Structure 1
Amino acid sequence: MQARYRAAPMLVSPLPDSLDALLDGALRPGGLRALFQPIVRLDDRQVVAHEGLMRHAHADVPPLRLLDRARTAGRLGELETHAARTLVQAFDFDRGGRLLINLSAHAILQGALRPQQVIESLHATGRDLSRFVIEITERDIVEDVDRLADALGYLRAAGIRIALDDFGNGHSNFELWHELGPEYVKIDRYLVHQIAQSPGRLSIVRALVQVADSLGTDLIAEGVERMQDLAIIQDLGIRFAQGYLLGRPNAAVTETAAEEVRQAIREKLPVWPLNGRRSAFPRVTAAHLLIEAPSISDQACNFDAEQLFRQHPQLPALPVVDHEGRPQGLINRRVFNERMAVPFARELLGRKPCIKLMHESPIMADVSQSIDAMSEILLGEDQRYLSDGFIITRDGRYAGVGTGEALVRRVTELRIEAARYANPLTLLPGNIPIAEHIARLIEARQSFMAAYCDLNHFKPYNDQYGYFRGDRMIRLVASTLTKHADPRWDFVGHVGGDDFVVLFQSDDWDRRCREMVGEFNAASRALFDDADVARGVLEGEDRAGRYATFPLTTLTIGATHVEPGRFSTAEEVASQAAAAKRHAKRLNVGLHVLAALDTQTA
């Protein structure tokens, strides 16, 4: 049976004749040279394997360009076989661990690389075939997955392991993963690079970890170039990593990872990135509020509009469009009926153009407009959306309508949901991410300091100056805490109101806390009126309604040391940190550390 295989469309310039000569040279004995990049096992920092990489021995030509030319010339299998032989001859099996060799699905399915041919080439080394891993590269769309799986079965039967390369880029897909059942899947550099700053990449890789666990696959993170990315990768439970940080391609094998990597790889539990603004409004758009409804031509008369309203009794307003389908206005049902109910109005207005009774400036939104952007409608002075609804367009033409009720309900739901994950005022992580991070620290048996931050006498300030300036003070707390926390290891969360939590892994947490208190207390003076600063107090009413004076607002931090095994839940840690904060406020100090023995008097 002939393999069904469809090449992906490629937009490439014509290849020069000289590339044929380079290909001929590469296929001669000694025409290729071998490089090896180490793969590190993260739990013990050991180099356990190397990926073999081919290079032209006599010219600086990109390998992918050479492979593309070989495929066009029908010599891909010949080139990949020659590259594999070059790699196994140059590899130091005594020191290098397993050897990963790239072979294309295209060459295997087209018969240019027969499984027995691959086995014989590797057998010639005299090494146990379990020392080899074949990486299946996918620069094309594989349509006959069953045939590919059958061919790889011969390799597996001989003891060779299989890896799926560059997952998350190109044509890697879950069908191949599921049907081929590879021992290893290599996560593409696109998902790994800067994962420490990308909530989206983190979410995708977390999902891949769950899939790998369920399918019994080991993951290899490719393209690791930064220490903070490596920390996230290991924290996710990925066992193997590869990249310039761990070792660059070299003619000789690498026996150990870099010293800085070996020392820092298990230093602390990294803080996962959280984009509060993005999480507040997922990709919900006007299209999700669209209701298909009739429209009326701007050439129609009021009798036509009256008939449409009768046919659609639930329609609050009738969009008016021109001959190209572009919205011109909106006829409100209530206003229209009131005008037509006036004595002799039907006789006078019935055959007049309907545009005479329409509102010429309707509220409009494109189908792609996000709910986040549409929420601004709720803040505007024009409140007609409550009665008229709004027009939804696609490429400037009428598509349907949306109701004000649906918009208000959806925005409210999203804001409530978002507030659980990120505080809308400061965009810092909310209660759920705080609890999740504490749980991660407890599960990892990581020692840390839980600090609860609160403002003294904030209510009198809010009562006197109003919520707008009160919000400014809350944002000042947030900016001060994040400024003095190490974003790699210290987690800053906003519980709500003037309550914040900082989970420190920094060894110098004490200094950071004192700097937080000192800087906030100094900077907050600018948020008071000069007269209040001069008096040093605020005047107002106490909880009983009596005249009282209050000190100027300051920051207090209560902290408690969390050792492995001391607490079993995030709730217990939060309660202890809150007790430390209460002690600090009673003692009227900027920072108080609550020891374990203090809990009975908290």
Structure 2
Amino acid sequence: MQSSHQITVQTIIAEKLINTVFQPIFDIENETIVGYEALTRGPQNTPLFSPEALFEAAQQHNLLSELELLCRARAISRFVELKLEGKLFINICLNVMLNKDHPYGETIKLVEQSGLSPNQVVIEISEKSPFPNSDILLKALNKYRKFGFDIAIDDVGVGYSGLKQWSYLRPDIVKIDRYFIDQCDQDVMKREFLKILFELGRISNALIIAEGIETKEEFELLRELGMVYSQGFFLAKPNEYPIQKFPTLDVCVSPKQVSTIETIEMLVTTTKTVEYNQSVNHVYDIFTQNINIYAIPVLRENKPLGMIFRNQLMESYSDIYGRALFSKKMAVDIKSNNHMILDHSMPLEQVSTLLTARANAEFTQPSIITKNGYYLGVVSPRDLLKSITESKLEQARYANPLTGLPGNVAIEKEIDYMLKHKRPFNLAYLDLNHFKPFNDIYGYAKGDLLLKTLANSIMINTSNKCCFVGHIGGDDFIIMFKNNDVEKVCQNILTDFSQQSLSFITPEHQKQQGYYALDRSGKNIFHPLVSLAIGVIQPDTTCYNSYHQIADLASKAKSEAKKNTGSSLFICRRQKQHSFDITSV
């Protein structure tokens, strides 16, 4: 036996000295594991331990095909042995896939022998290697598709062919390269690029996986941008015995658990559908027998591929040769992609933005709604527009007219929802000190501008996904926190507002740290500069059942904060209705 430092790739292949580790891929909306990526490691404590070194050595000795077959066989057998759930992602080298000497059909043999189904396996190809001629690659991939495998493109965004291959190959799954994930929370360009990729995934009906997530900040930003499927060290590292349950993460509570926002799912209706391989004549018969059906979704294994529209098909059949031309075609051959495919959890406000960006001809077409990538139903444009209009009117009706923030009705509704569902939250009550003297000295117009400045400071420093901001009225605001960043966010608001408010104060008054104005009894007395008081409560939601109880607690916390001079933060550490533990910051 060779020493560990002299071991060769020939020996590794001959003696099958590789190890397979698995990294989970998560559905963060449903907090489940949807699959595992199989990754190969060489013998430990050898120069060929890393996959990069191992595959480079195999390529140098013209043994890539042999090494890949060994890796696939080991990945499949270990996946079954460990009884892992979900899909198995297997990496395949393009050079091997297109090598004429590589044995055809070996992967399907290995899969069938193991007892797995091909639809449990994803063939993952990397965009880091130069893609060959698109037609050649498409033919190679179609061989895998015929067996029932899903196709994933890995490392999208850094390769030679970029988005062109995505458009042409139409993969089932797209994985975003780590380069765009790395510190995306600190890079505006990466953030915008990621937005585009998630939107392209929605349009092309491809599942998007953000891989290589290593920090909490990256994870939270990606989820805010629309990420559903994720992979990376922050969630779980590759392991020979990978985790099989969703991990406990120190992140903001998932929006799906706390959101009271109306989503597109509330408008879903059912309609007739057809399978991709059913005849066009069958589709035509459905339209002729159901005069109220204007569009039919085309599905494959309950995943939407497109839509067939009545007016287009009827126009084609009206031609003298129409029926003869279409009689041998399948539904998938005539489907249209000019429609929206929306996830069931998408807020109506976001749908409104997408809808208004559509072309006029597409504006009146129904949208397909999915859940976890599978067909759920359709939404008519009429129902969508009606609901969006009603939602906008309700928001406008109950919003504060000065700041546009949710008013008392929305605030009460949000708090009651959290109490009813026993969701933990922190509540901050914000109030300006000495606001009346400011109004008296500088006028109500500047007073309104100061309130807008405070509202802006709050919105800049809070996350829409983890915080609910409301304007009670006058100079009173609330923030409901659904994460644990309360003290940090409140301190940022205090600092930001203190700096911004000085732009409204004359240099003379800044120097004096105040001004003379009439008090409520008509006496001319000195008042300090306007400042901000924040009182925070952390209620035990199992002990309260009404908005009024929470409002009373928050008001007491605010009063404690206002006892201090200047801007201050008071946090009540008590969770139940007893005397306060005072923490002033």
Distance 1:525 1:209 in 2: 39
- Once the two structures are TM-superposed, the CA of residue 552 in structure 1 deviates from its matched residue by 3.2
Change in CA separation of 1:48 and 1:509 when aligned onto 2, cut-off 3 Å: closer
The one of 207, 226, 240 aligned to 1:237 = 226
The one of 533, 538, 543 aligned to 2:515 = 538
- Once the two structures are TM-superposed, the CA of residue 501 in structure 1 deviates from its matched residue by 8.0
SS at match of 1:96: coil
SS at match of 2:109: helix
The one of 6, 16, 30 aligned to 1:30 = 16
Moved more, 124-133 or 515-524: 515-524
In structure 1, give the amino acid aligned to 2:108.
I
The one of 97, 105, 110 aligned to 1:108 = 97
Change in CA separation of 1:211 and 1:24 when aligned onto 2, cut-off 3 Å: same
Would the aligned equivalents of 1:129 and 1:158 in 2 still touch at CA under 8 Å? Answer: yes
The one of 67, 70, 82 aligned to 1:82 = 70
1:313 aligns to what? none
In structure 1, give the amino acid aligned to 2:219.
L
1:73 aligns to what? 61
1:97 aligns to what? 86
> Alpha-carbon deviations, 1:422-468, whole Å to 9, x = none?
xxxxxxxxx9999xxx9xx99xx9999797876835578889xxx9x
Would the aligned equivalents of 1:37 and 1:248 in 2 still touch at CA under 8 Å? Answer: yes
Change in CA separation of 1:512 and 1:234 when aligned onto 2, cut-off 3 Å: closer
- Once the two structures are TM-superposed, the CA of residue 70 in structure 1 deviates from its matched residue by 2.4
> Alpha-carbon deviations, 1:571-599, whole Å to 9, x = none?
xxxxxxxxxxxxx9xxx9999xxxxxxxx
Change in CA separation of 1:148 and 1:454 when aligned onto 2, cut-off 3 Å: farther
Change in CA separation of 1:520 and 1:133 when aligned onto 2, cut-off 3 Å: closer
Q: Does 1:64 align with 2:52?
A: yes
Change in CA separation of 1:188 and 1:454 when aligned onto 2, cut-off 3 Å: farther
- Once the two structures are TM-superposed, the CA of residue 491 in structure 1 deviates from its matched residue by 8.5
- Once the two structures are TM-superposed, the CA of residue 519 in structure 1 deviates from its matched residue by 8.0
Change in CA separation of 1:41 and 1:481 when aligned onto 2, cut-off 3 Å: closer
2:200 aligns to what? 211
Would the aligned equivalents of 2:515 and 2:529 in 1 still touch at CA under 8 Å? Answer: no
Distance 1:198 1:432 in 2: 29
1:47 aligns to what? 33
TM-score normalized with structure 1 length = 0.49
> Alpha-carbon deviations, 1:483-532, whole Å to 9, x = none?
99689945899xxxx99988542578998999789889999999999996
- Once the two structures are TM-superposed, the CA of residue 36 in structure 1 deviates from its matched residue by 0.9
CA RMSD of aligned residues (A): 5.7
Would the aligned equivalents of 2:80 and 2:114 in 1 still touch at CA under 8 Å? Answer: no
Q: Does 1:179 align with 2:168?
A: yes
2:552 aligns to what? none
Change in CA separation of 1:172 and 1:88 when aligned onto 2, cut-off 3 Å: farther
In structure 1, give the amino acid aligned to 2:69.
T
Moved more, 255-264 or 224-233: 255-264
Would the aligned equivalents of 2:128 and 2:158 in 1 still touch at CA under 8 Å? Answer: no
In structure 2, give the amino acid aligned to 1:103.
I
TM-score normalized with structure 2 length = 0.50
Q: Does 1:505 align with 2:493?
A: no
Change in CA separation of 1:263 and 1:184 when aligned onto 2, cut-off 3 Å: same
Would the aligned equivalents of 1:96 and 1:253 in 2 still touch at CA under 8 Å? Answer: no
> Alpha-carbon deviations, 1:516-573, whole Å to 9, x = none?
89889999999999996998852599xxxxxx877332135799x9xxxxxxxxxxxx
1:246 aligns to what? 235
Structure 1 gaps of 5+ residues are 1-17, 271-430, 542-547, 562-583, 592-602
1:130-209, aligned counterparts within 5 Å?
130-171=119-160, 173-209=162-198
Would the aligned equivalents of 1:231 and 1:266 in 2 still touch at CA under 8 Å? Answer: no
In structure 1, give the amino acid aligned to 2:33.
V
1:151-550, aligned counterparts within 5 Å?
151-171=140-160, 173-260=162-249, 264-265=253-254, 456=435, 457-458=437-438, 489-490=466-467, 503-506=479-482, 538=515
Would the aligned equivalents of 1:453 and 1:556 in 2 still touch at CA under 8 Å? Answer: yes
In structure 1, give the amino acid aligned to 2:528.
L
Would the aligned equivalents of 1:105 and 1:142 in 2 still touch at CA under 8 Å? Answer: yes
> Alpha-carbon deviations, 1:127-180, whole Å to 9, x = none?
211111110123322140111111111111111111111112333611211222
Distance 1:250 1:433 in 2: 47
Distance 1:88 1:513 in 2: 48
- Once the two structures are TM-superposed, the CA of residue 31 in structure 1 deviates from its matched residue by 2.1
Would the aligned equivalents of 1:521 and 1:554 in 2 still touch at CA under 8 Å? Answer: no
Q: Does 1:554 align with 2:530?
A: yes
> Alpha-carbon deviations, 1:48-100, whole Å to 9, x = none?
21111111125243211222232333322222112111211222363333211
Would the aligned equivalents of 1:165 and 1:186 in 2 still touch at CA under 8 Å? Answer: yes
2:265 aligns to what? none
